[in-house]
Amino acid sequence: MKPTHIEHLGIAVKSIEEAIPYYENILGLSCYSIEEVADQKVKTAFFKVGQTKIELLEPTAPDSPIQKYLDKNPHGGVHHVAYAVEGLQSVLDEVAAKGVQLIDKQPRKGAEGLNIAFLHPKSTFGVLTELCEHP
Ligand code: ZN
């Protein structure tokens, strides 16, 4: 695998609406998209910092993975790091062959129409790792 850049950082928040003013008024970023990803039971808000994005994640259901994260981290926090790669399926096959535990054996659709897949934190020194590919 040769990631080209950090595609985004996924940050869990209780409320996107409450978090946006910090990102806009303090950090000076602007939210360019709010999108619900029903499949992952989250609402997302996106900001650009150079080539990298900040993805705020708010749970939309009690069994959302983001709600589970917030139960353990009530103030929110960095939930995952997403690397941009090319040829996602072959990257997944390659890292699986190297013994990495995959959450997604095949790419699925994430926010912004990207193909995404997660690697298990057990295999990544505790960092939930997402790989993204522009379709
Ligand atoms: Zn993400």
Q: What is the pLDDT of residues 25-60, one digit of tens each?
A: 999 999 999 999 888 899 999 999 999 999 999 999
pLDDT on residue 111: 81
Centre of ligand 1 from the C-alpha of residue 54, in Å: 9
Centre of ligand 1 from the C-alpha of residue 41, in Å: 13
Give 88-122 pLDDT, tens digit per residue.
999 999 999 999 999 999 999 888 889 999 999 99
CB-count exposure of residue 106 (10 Å: 0-12, 13-18, 19+): exposed
Centre of ligand 1 from the C-alpha of residue 130, in Å: 6
CB-count exposure of residue 98 (10 Å: 0-12, 13-18, 19+): exposed
Centre of ligand 1 from the C-alpha of residue 83, in Å: 9
Centre of ligand 1 from the C-alpha of residue 97, in Å: 24
| Of residues 7 and 113, more confidently modeled | 7
* pLDDT (average), residues 14-20: 97
* pLDDT (average), residues 8-18: 97
Domains of the chain: 5-133 (3.10.180.10)
Of the pLDDT bands very low, low, confident and very high (cuts 50, 70, 90), residue 19 is very high
Would you say 74 and 31 are in contact if contact means Cβ atoms under 8 Å apart?
no
Centre of ligand 1 from the C-alpha of residue 88, in Å: 15
Centre of ligand 1 from the C-alpha of residue 31, in Å: 16
The helix/strand/coil state of 71 is helix
Taking the model in full, what pTM does it have?
Answer: 0.92
pLDDT on residue 37: 87
